A and B are shown apart, each in its own frame.
Chain A
Amino acid sequence: MTSRRGARSEPASELELFPAAEPAPRIVEEPLPSYVGSATYPGETAEAAIAVSTLTETARDILEGAFIPIWVRGEITDFKAHRNGHWYFCLRDSAAQIRCVVWNRDQRRIPAPPDDGMLVAAFGRLTVYPARGEMQFTVVRIEAEGDGLRRKALEITRARLAADGLLAPERKRALPRFARTIAVVTSPDGAALHDIVAVVRRRRAQVRLVVVPAAVQGDSAPDELCYALDQINRWRGADLVIVSRGGGSREDMWAFNNERVARAVAACYAPTISAVGHEVDLSICDLVADHRAPTPSAAAEAATLSKTELEAELRRAAHRLRAALAAKFSADRDHLRHVARDLVSAAVRQTSVRRASLERVSGRLHALSPLATMARGYSVARGPDGRALTSVAQFTEDMPFDLVLRDGSLPAKAWPRSDPAS
């Protein structure tokens, strides 16, 4: 047995267990032995025996010719993702089993590798693996009961994105309030684009929608979506990105659960809105995008302000400007008024303080004035030199002096002193 794909490096035992990627090449028919005796067809007699490979090859040709590709249901057992890239497992029910293989190249159509015990329907072609002489079912699609494979795929993708922090709420960026240029990643002929354009037109929103075309379903959708997002990242001309498609079957929308697409959305330089399908459809892209809109129309609503809203915005700004200026003037006026009031009261305060101290001083002055004493009937004798004469000893006979009284002074003269003893 040989393989074109170089699976030759595998240990012989594994090669026997697991067929290589490509169906083994047809073994070149050896020249038929020359029939001996009475044999009229190969294998009729011992002498005309055919080779084992001829038998299995023939069986394979007959089997493949007899069965068109079909769906077969059963339970998965002995699943193995071999390191050669292919999946091997058995499909069984209570009475029978068949060996199955999913070639590496066919796995992209299957959301996730099935687990042992899963009840599935597998779509494929019945053949024979000549190296082991066994029937083999070559599977290209698998649908698990209860959509188990898709659920498993979602869980795996979600866990991987979460492990890299791509689902963290703090990663969510705010949408620009006034997006001018919005890139729309979607099918140019799809309902999503139609809805988005209709909403933008209805709202008379002043935006430029730049469509970045991508298939939104089918095998090529993940690659095309990633490519479109990559183009936007290189272009850098949009300030908001909408990734969208209209409603459809779960399978139609599967590309938006693709891990690569989700990572491309997360890597977008501009804030992103994901709007995939309808309200009830939640995709991995929705989880990664900065904003999730339930429908393409809702995405357009979230992305734009209507003309009415813009006008209101402008009115608010105008009002705020006028109010600020008015407040400025009235603040200045108030300030002036306060200053004037402070000035007057300061002046008043200064005057009354001074008056009070003046009164205090004059009172004291008054109390100390000799005039007050004289007012009560006392008088002062003052000598020619103006000094007060306060002792008898300062007087001599006939000495003139002034007698100062309450209301003036009189010239006076000292009389001879009468002897107090006489």
Chain B
Amino acid sequence: MATKRSGVLTFEQRLARLEQIASELDAENVDLAKALSLFEEGIEHLRSAAAELATAEATVQRLVERADGTFGVTDAD
């Protein structure tokens, strides 16, 4: 889990990871070095999530079923 880097996570996953980091920090048996590395990871998640929040927009698409039974989406606007 700690190896999960922040590149591919969704906003929700980031928040979940942040929650987890905070819980780990709350645990009594975490040494300071580990605590600091957890904190740094947390800050990274916060930064990425905030960046994502700043750019993303709602999109409206339409589900399209292809002849071979696979699915795709097309822009509906």
Give residues in A with beta carbon < 8 Å to B: 176-178, 180, 183, 188, 197, 200-201, 204-213, 231-232, 234-235, 237, 307, 310-311, 313-314, 317-318, 320-321, 323-325, 327-329, 331-332
Contact = CB atoms under 8 A, between A and B. Distances in A.
A314 B71 contact: no
Contacts of B18: 317-318, 320-321
A32 to B, nearest CB: 59
Which of A213, A232, A318 counts the most chain B CB atoms within 10 A?
A318
A357 to B, nearest CB: 39
Nearest to B15: A317
B39 A321 contact: yes
A404 B43 CA distance: 88
B12 interface: yes
Consensus secondary structure, chain A interface: helix
Nearest to A307: B53
26 contacts: A178-B10, A178-B12, A206-B56, A206-B58, A208-B58, A209-B58, A209-B59, A211-B62, A211-B63, A213-B62, A231-B63, A237-B63, A307-B53, A313-B15, A314-B50, A320-B18, A320-B22, A321-B25, A321-B42, A323-B22, A324-B25, A325-B39, A327-B26, A328-B30, A328-B32, A328-B35
| 4 shortest interchain CB distances as A-B pairs | A324-B25, A178-B12, A206-B56, A317-B18
A325 B35 contact: yes
Interface residues of B, number: 37
Nearest to B76: A211
A317 B65 CA distance: 40
A208 B59 CA distance: 5
B60 A209 contact: yes
Contacts of A177: 12
A211 B19 contact: no
A232 B10 contact: no
Given A206-B52, A213-B62, 5 more contacts: A197-B58, A205-B58, A207-B59, A210-B61, A307-B53
Contacts of A328: 25-26, 30, 32, 35
A324 B18 CA distance: 11
Contacts of B65: 231, 235
B63 A210 contact: yes
A321 B37 CA distance: 12
A323 B21 CA distance: 12
Contact of A317 (B19, B56, B60): B19
Contacts of B73: 210, 237
A314 B51 CA distance: 11
A310 B69 contact: no
B12 A180 contact: yes
Interface in B23-72: 23, 25-26, 28, 30, 32, 35-36, 39, 42-43, 46, 49-50, 52-53, 56-63, 65, 69, 71
Which of A205, A207, A232, A325 counts the most chain B CB atoms within 10 A?
A325
Given A206-B58, A327-B25, A212 B63 contact: yes
A313 B42 CA distance: 14
Contacts of B62: 188, 210-213
